[in-house]
Amino acid sequence: MSYELAIILVRGLGLGSIFALLAMSFNVVHSSSGILNFAQGNFLVLGGFAAAFLLASPPDMAMWWIMLPVATIIVAALLSFHGWITLLPLRNSTEQDSWMISTMAVSIMIGAGLLITQGPFAQTVQSAFASFRVMGTRTPAPYALCFVLMIAWFLWLKWFHARTLTGLAISAISQDMEAARAAGLRVRRLQLLAFTISGLVVGSTGFVAAPVLSISADSGFRYVLNGFIAAVVGGMGSNTGAVIAGPLLGIIAMVATYQVGGEYQNFVSLLILVLILMFRPQGLFGRTAARRV
């Protein structure tokens, strides 16, 4: 019993950390532009692919540390380009919902590209770190590393939004875009930067989590779904909410896998999403925005 409980808790926490990292990467972009990137999960998977290509197997520890920033920067660069394309039609159009279509289209293209070049089977990546034992159960190291990465990005983003001029400017956009523009902020450039930061977050996550990630053409959307649920449960825009909701969701997903079977994991996630939206749409830590009439 304690054996199962340990697996559920530790792996749930690790998996949940990935969800929380995705949720935080959603939040960065969402707060700067109101955009919710449907392709975010595919970029996470791309981070995993980068690990599969850049690392030998079994990987060398030194190479791992060298390739971590390389993979992160590659994904961030791709995501910046994607962000640029997404922001393009918003520049001079009254139709401000085009991002829903363009990010979904990019998500499909990445998935299709991976399918064409890699085939339908999942890539495997070996861990550079030795697995560790919790209450007698062997646990792959990336679960712990993801948790550490979540805390690290959470603290960095907290510092970035509160202490740097650029971070404050992005926060200002999320408060009132028109006012931010009137105050002379270069809104488009800051929004693009937000895409880049979200790329750094998911790129590093994909690389670090690669050994425990499902690296295949069709798994991107599953991660988007869970990351989105973590963001909604935590409250859209709240990173504190994300780091609490993500692990919570991860543990629930693990319990569901153990109790009713892995094929129902997404169904349980969907159920959680519907319930939270029905009864507390602003999430656990979200603010209710006053409606202007």
Cα distance between residue 175 and residue 280, in whole Å: 22
Contact indicator for 208, 142 with CB cutoff of 8 Å: yes
- Provide the minimum distance between the beta carbon of 26 and another protein in the complex, in angstroms, as a whole number: 11
Of residues 254 through 293, those in contact with another protein by CB under 8 A are 261, 263-264, 266-267, 269-270, 273-274, 277-278, 281, 290-291, 293
Query: What is the DSSP code string of 191-237?
Result: HHHHHHHHHHHHHHHHHHHGGGS-BSTT-HHHHHHHHHHHHHHH-TT
Determine the angle formed by the axes of helices 265-279 and 239-260, rounding to 10 degrees: 140
Q: Does 178 sit near another protein (CB under 8 A)? A: no
- Provide the minimum distance between the beta carbon of 88 and another protein in the complex, in angstroms, as a whole number: 6
Q: Does 179 sit near another protein (CB under 8 A)? A: no
- Provide the minimum distance between the beta carbon of 2 and another protein in the complex, in angstroms, as a whole number: 29
- Alpha helices by DSSP H, listed for 95-140, are 98-118
The size of the interface with another protein (CB under 8 A), counted in residues, is: 41
Token pair recorded at residue 83 = 């962000």
| Contacts with another protein, 50-69, as mask; x by CB under 8 A | --------------------
Q: Does 147 sit near another protein (CB under 8 A)? A: no
Q: Which of 10, 262, 46 is nearest to 133 (CA)?
A: 10
Max CA separation in the chain (angstroms): 61
How many residues are recorded in the chain? 293
| Contacts with another protein, 82-121, as mask; x by CB under 8 A | ---x--xx---x-x--x-xxx-xxxxxx-xxx-xx-----
Q: Does 134 sit near another protein (CB under 8 A)? A: no
| Binding residues vs another protein (CB under 8 A) | 36, 85, 88-89, 93, 95, 98, 100-102, 104-109, 111-113, 115-116, 221-222, 225, 228, 232, 261, 263-264, 266-267, 269-270, 273-274, 277-278, 281, 290-291, 293
